[in-house]
Amino acid sequence: MALEDARREIDHAFTRDDLKGPSFELTFGGATSFLRRRYTKDLSGVDIAVTGVPFDQAVTNRPGTRLGPRAIREASSLQAPDPPYGWDFDVLSEFAIIDYGDLAFDYGHIAAFPDALTAHIKGILDADVASVVLGGDHYITYPILKAYAEKYGPISLLQFDAHTDTWADDDLDRIDHGTMFYKAVKTGIVDPATSVQVGIRTTNEDTMGVNIIDARRVHEQGPVETVRQIKDILGDRPCYLTWDIDALDPAYAPGTGTPVWGGLTSAQAAIMLRDLAGINIVGADVVEVSPPYDTTGATAVAGAHVATELLCLLGHRMRTS
């Protein structure tokens, strides 16, 4: 049946007539929405909206993450025909998932960007739809968290990253991908006591009260025990999951702006993302995929896998809530 469908399906991003179900069109052809979901701005009947934020004007080293959403969408076409591996349900068949397209903003008016992004996400949340965001540099999580905190109150943050991104910065108007979680804690939109950062391997003495499970600890105790500890910290509070692709070691994700050795393996990432099923996740993003620094495309593939697992985590929560 799949082969027969592949012979006639094309450009499912525009031609599919159902928001649910797999797509069997040729992986190397057609319009590359995320997982071949329908491109639409209509949120009626939608459970999860995938949206891109092609922004990289906050980086401290190498740019290029503005091209991340496009690359992740292209890489995701490899996964579109099959249910995500290792789950006891098919999120693509059970839930209405769309590609909401990208945020529109004026690249020459950077000061207006944060509010534009917060409003973009708020529009999704106001329709009772969850968002999975494809970045973009990691600064974008801060304006996104503002929208989520407005809906849920101070939120728990689950961050996979090489860096804490809590370097001190009391200028709320500065746009910097290394200081935004300092501001998120300082302004009260993130609850540090029930938040956790995983995979950290750079020095920042002030943790802002956030719980840290660094990369060495993950390697020594393993991903299963790590997830147990994460769940103990999060409890059942509403949680936003942000995955910086540099949480992975550069051997697995070289295409990023600030690579750091000693990171997580892709196998550890897969185990942890699947074992996190049951957390009260309300939204998520994957950020810092910078295609110009990876001619193999492996980083975008990793980003697409992470984003798919994020859909599964949201679907799992929706099934059980």
Query: Tokens 């469908």 identify what position?
Result: 5
**Quick one: tokens of 90?**
């098919």
How many CB atoms lie under 10 A from the CB of residue 28? 8
* DSSP structural state of residue 163: S
268-299 burial string, b = 16+ CB within 10 Å, else e? bbbbbbbbbbebebbbbbbbbbbbebbeeebb
- Annotated binding residue at 17? no
How many CB atoms lie under 10 A from the CB of residue 320? 9
**Quick one: tokens of 95?**
């839930």
d(CA 190, CA 175): 18
- Annotated binding residue at 236? no
**Quick one: tokens of 189?**
């939109």
How many CB atoms lie under 10 A from the CB of residue 31? 16
- Annotated binding residue at 177? no
* β-strand pairing of 97-102 with 130-135: unpaired
**Quick one: tokens of 214?**
């660094």
126 Cβ contact list (under 8 Å, min separation 6): none
d(CA 282, CA 314): 7
- Annotated binding residue at 161? yes
- Annotated binding residue at 120? no
- Annotated binding residue at 316? no
Residues annotated in a binding site: 138, 161, 163, 165, 244, 246
Residues annotated in a binding site for Mn(2+): 138, 161, 163, 165, 244, 246
